[in-house]
């Protein structure tokens, strides 16, 4: 479980940090960098010693590494295709999922107000992954950060490509709607354009009274996938990857 600062667990800080290093498969030369990466603003003496600055740097490094990976891995993809995949892979939803897979809830240093919450907010988990990227970069250099990122995004890239080219976002949105709202999503045709033999369709996903940003597609099936993608992004606090216009 996450720990509050100060805490009995941190009295043996060396053991605490070593356990975290084992979890992320990287050993720090400068242990203070790891501790900073794990420290949320609520658990810091001042915000300057929290992970906020590391998060800022880690976000940029994460995006750059993913862009290079996609550029080399998909030499036939156009800029628009690469941009859509990148937006999924570097999203806060992905960062949150990776942090959960690593079990980072156990190592977060949180303040009293957050330690009493039943669960760690997704935004905090997303932040700590980006902070870890930056702390590894500062401690071990570009290659160390790249290896850490690659270990955790290969599967995310595969999933993003599958969703973009064949799609599983409707399934994900349905799972969310059934689990959290006890209902199923509906898809509303908002607009269409083009000649009969080559129409494009604009569709919005809706759960209950919540309608999400609509998206265009070359057919209704594709438009529904894009609309579901937009909905999942908005639900997770990310901007919709497909424009409404």
Q: CATH number for the domain including 87?
A: 1.10.1520.10
Q: What's the domain range around 201? A: 169-235
What's the sign of the alpha-carbon dihedral 245, 167, 60, 233? positive
Contact present, 130 and 152 (Cβ < 8 Å): no
Q: Which of 5, 55, 127, 130 is catalytic?
A: 130
Residues 7 and 92 in one domain: yes
Q: Which of 5, 55, 59, 127 is catalytic?
A: 59
Count of domains in the chain? 2
- Average pLDDT of the residues in 201-220: 93
**Do residues 98 and 115 both lie within one domain?**
yes
CATH code, 219 = 3.30.160.20
What percent of the chain stands above pLDDT 70?
87
User: Does residue 131 contact residue 60 with C-beta atoms inside 8 Å?
Assistant: no
pLDDT at res. 10: 46
| 112 and 195 both lie in a single domain | no
- Greatest mean pLDDT among 127-131, 165-169, 216-220, 239-243 lies in 127-131
Which of 103, 133, 164 marks a domain boundary?
Answer: 164
Query: Is the full-model pTM beyond 0.95?
Result: no
User: Does residue 109 sit in the same domain as residue 223?
Assistant: no
Domain final residue pick, 140, 164, 188: 164
Same-domain pairing of 92 and 199 = no
Of 164, 186, 220, the residue that ends a domain is 164
Regarding whether 228 and 174 lie in a shared domain, the answer is yes
Q: Is the pLDDT higher at 75 or at 112?
A: 75
Has 130 been annotated as catalytic?
A: yes
**6/182 Cα distance (integer angstroms):** 41
Q: Is residue 245 a part of any domain in this protein?
A: no
pLDDT surpasses 90 at 43: no
């Amino acid at each position: 479980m996450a720990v509050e600062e100060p805490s009995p667990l941190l009295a043996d800080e060396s053991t605490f940090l070593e356990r975290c290093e084992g979890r992320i498969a990287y050993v720090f030369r400068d242990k203070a960098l790891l501790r900073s990466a794990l420290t949320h603003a609520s658990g810091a003496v001042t915000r300057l010693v929290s992970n906020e600055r590391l998060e800022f740097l880690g976000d940029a490094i994460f995006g750059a590494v993913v862009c290079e990976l996609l550029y080399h891995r998909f030499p036939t993809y156009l800029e628009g295709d690469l941009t859509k995949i990148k937006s999924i892979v570097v999203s806060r939803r992905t960062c949150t999922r990776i942090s959960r897979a690593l079990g980072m809830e156990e190592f977060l240093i949180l303040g009293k107000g957050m330690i009493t919450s039943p669960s760690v907010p997704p935004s905090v988990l997303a932040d700590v992954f980006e902070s870890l990227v930056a702390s590894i970069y500062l401690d071990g250099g570009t290659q160390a950060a790249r290896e850490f990122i690659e270990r955790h995004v290969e599967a995310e890239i595969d999933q993003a490509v599958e969703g973009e080219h064949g799609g599983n976002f409707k399934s994900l949105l349905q799972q969310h709607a059934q689990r959290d709202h006890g209902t199923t999503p509906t898809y509303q045709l908002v607009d269409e354009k083009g000649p009969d033999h080559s129409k494009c369709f604009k569709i919005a996903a809706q759960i209950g009274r919540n309608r999400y940003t609509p998206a265009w597609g070359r057919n209704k099936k594709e438009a529904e996938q894009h609309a579901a993608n937009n909905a999942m992004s908005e639900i997770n606090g990310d901007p919709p990857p497909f424009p409404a216009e």
